[in-house]
Amino acid sequence: MLSVDWDRLNELKADIGDEDFADVAMLFVTELQDTLSALTPENAAADDFHFLRGSASNLGFTALVTACSTAEAACASGQSPDVDAVRTAFGSALAEMSKEMPDLALAA
């Protein structure tokens, strides 16, 4: 199963332009990593996963969008979110994307 919607990622690349795309992608990846590194099941809130989901959606990280939606719903219903599932989805998307953009591995 693919973790990245390549059509979405290529659409973003076309919208931004090749020259700026790597910088924008790196910014998104860095923001995702920074937010994820601070999350624990005890301190996570629905807003955290909402933010992560939006960034993941922009990059086409489909598995991460799904994991964030599940975690956001868990928070909203008073349950503990599966932060590990969100981190795993991020790692999978980053690994897949890094095949095409090796510099992204340096951001995480």
In a domain, 30, yes or no: yes
Return the H-helix or E-strand segment holding 44.
none
Q: Is residue 69 part of a domain?
A: yes
Task: Domain of residue 87: give its range.
Answer: 6-107
Residue 1: inside a domain: no
pLDDT score recorded for residue 80: 95
55 in any annotated domain: yes
The answer as to whether 21 is a domain residue is yes
What is the full per-residue pLDDT of the chain (108 aa) written as tens digits?
A: 678 898 998 898 899 987 788 888 888 889 999 999 999 999 999 999 999 999 999 889 999 999 999 999 999 999 999 999 999 999 999 888 888 777 665 555
Query: How many domains, in total, are found in the chain?
Result: 1
Report in angstroms the alpha-carbon separations of 72 from 9, 19, 31, 76: 23, 34, 18, 6
Model pLDDT, residue 49: 97
